[in-house]
Amino acid sequence: MAEYLIKNGFVYDPVLGINGDKTDVAVKDGKMVETSALSNPAEIDASGMTVMAAAVDIHAHVAGPKVCVGRNFRPEDKLFRATPQAGIKRMEGGFSVPTVLKTGYDYARMGFGFVMEAAMPPLYARHVHEEIRDTPIIDEAALPVFGNNWFVLEYLKNQEIENTAAYIAWLLRMTRGFGVKNVNPGGTEAWGWGLNCPTVNDPVPYFDITPAQIVRGLIEANEFLGLPHCMHVHANSLGQPGNYTVTLDTLKQAEGIKARNEFGRDQVLHHTHLQFHSYGGESYASKSFESKSKEVADYINARDNITFDLGVVTLDETTTMTADGPFEHHLTELNHLKWVNTDVELETAAGVVPYIYSPKTFIAGAQWAIGIELGLFAKDPMRTFITTDHPNAGPFIRYPRVYKWLMSKAAREDMLDNVLKYGNTVRDRCYIGEIDREITLFELAQMTRAGPAKALGLAGMFGSLKPGMEGDVAVYPYNPETSGDPEDIERAFSHAQYLIKGGDVVVREGQVVSNGNKRTFWVDCKVNENPQVERDVAEKFKRYYSVNLANYEVYAHHYVPNPYVIEVDATQ
């Protein structure tokens, strides 16, 4: 395999503590190495440019049935947005729900190496893996959803952590999944009765268990197994004014629990798209709705076992999709646009609704502000990750725009003064006008690389340029010494000059030149034999499922042709 020497760039690596030093970076046989280990490298001149490890996305909806529904029911999302096949690239299309090919190419063009698909309905895991397989370049994994699963609800009601853990281990193997996702705990199941669980203390109908019990139980089961990633929660009452108390109640479930794993992960709870969960007020009226980002960030700043990602609203026309069925119904009642709802048997439900975050409305402006505020209030960039909950708050191709807002007060002021119609009301009802902080490139590398890699338990592979890590390097045409215009940030991070992925050049001079060698990561967790769970699984499949147990497993040879298996031993 090839050797590369990336010379003279400004290097940012939080793991190695390199903060913009001009230094050389070496890749050999797919891994990072010391420069002295190279014998005859191809040289890449990165002078005047920024060099970082490839980025890691901890939460995006990029593959699977609800993404596909979004593509199918929004043909207008592709209108005038298709680019024909060129070179090694195949045709690309779409904006908020791009084709799998565009997804892979766009992430590569932005210098990403790993993306986590944030919600996999277990029954449709095959579909998720087919789309992951067909997404070029980027390594991916998927989190199956557990928070409304009948097995989990029944075991946790009886406080059977070991059975819950055994079931999780079994399901991860069946679905080739990576970790534990928990969407609107209990609320999505309640939606089957036309109800919801607005707070953590509302019991789920029939199962008679509360969201608080589900959250805490799944954390305990996750730590019982010692999985690479922690319990990844989307709390109850997403998007509801006044929901920050529900968010705090959810975060409190992690109190007193310590991470137990061999992957260097410190947190036991990851709260995703926190922006949607940090609202004050009683309604969407501008006199009532307000930001509670400070209250939520303060709580997290004072803890060390919680991580979160932002979910910044990018003020685009986008497609919302979530396994939070009742929320999507609420949205369609609000904007009267088309709505899809699905119930996935014993496991979960989902909805899809297009949404326009218009800068002409106060609420969209305030939502924008709250997402940015959370990133600026957070004291530890290693526990704060940048996302747009793609495509819910905005498409992932807007990440560089979010970097710009986080890194430049001038860019934020420009938004408040010139773009948002109700900029002054947003200043009144939110904190954004009072914050002077500007995220540095070093902090950006923590929030987009080292941090998410560590939170996913992948710190040994991604997020740093340390010798022995995966040969994933991004070079951006951004000169930290001379670039002054905030627009340069967005431009440069949208178009990496080079991306080396797994030791191969994938983006060269801004052009995608290779379809890479993508891998699907999954976690194979060994547990002691558990006859009760085995019997329960067999019984439920016989009585309730529409498929046979033998047709449930994601057979690796077809669906996961290029796996990377992380083995966990939880038998002790």
The residues that touch other proteins, with contacts defined as CB under 8 A, are 73-77, 79, 84, 336-338
Q: How far is the CB of 87 from other proteins (least distance, A)?
A: 16
Nearer of residues 74 and 109 to other proteins, judged by Cβ: 74
Q: How far is the CB of 337 from other proteins (least distance, A)?
A: 6
Tokens of 464: 């740093």
Alpha carbon of residue 250 to chain centroid: 19
Residue closer to other proteins (CB basis): 110 or 353: 353
The nearest distance, CB 354 to other proteins, in angstroms, is: 8
Task: Evaluate whether 481 touches 460 at the Cβ level (below 8 Å).
Answer: no
Residue 214: closest CA among 243, 181, 238: 181
Nearer Cβ to other proteins (1/91):
91
Looking at the Cβ atoms of 74 and 449, the one nearer to other proteins is 74
Nearest approach in angstroms of CB 153 to other proteins is 35
The least distance separating other proteins from the CB of residue 76, rounded to whole angstroms, comes to: 4
Of residues 76 and 428, the one with the C-beta less far from other proteins: 76
| 233 beta partners | 182, 271
Q: How far is the CB of 353 from other proteins (least distance, A)?
A: 11
Q: Do the Cβ atoms of 197 and 236 come closer than 8 Å?
A: yes
Assign 3-class secondary structure to 182-225: EECCCHHHHHHHCCCCCCCCCCCCCCCCCHHHHHHHHHHHHHHH
3-state class of 400 per DSSP?
helix
Q: How far is the CB of 289 from other proteins (least distance, A)?
A: 21
What distance in Å separates the CA atoms of residue 308 and residue 232, rounded to the nearest whole number? Answer: 9
CB 310 within 8 A of CB 58: no
Nearer to other proteins, 338 or 542 (CB): 338
Tokens of 473: 């390097």
Which of residues 178 and 355 has its CB atom nearest to other proteins in the complex? 355
CA-only gyration radius of the chain, Å: 22
CB of 340 to other proteins, least distance (A): 12
Q: Give the ranges where 17-160 is alpha helix by DSSP (H).
A: 65-73, 100-109, 125-134, 150-157
Amino acid of residue 216:
R
Decide whether 84 or 87 has the Cβ nearer to other proteins: 84
Strand duo 340-344 + 348-356: pairing? antiparallel
3-state secondary structure of 474: strand
3-state secondary structure (DSSP) of residue 379: coil
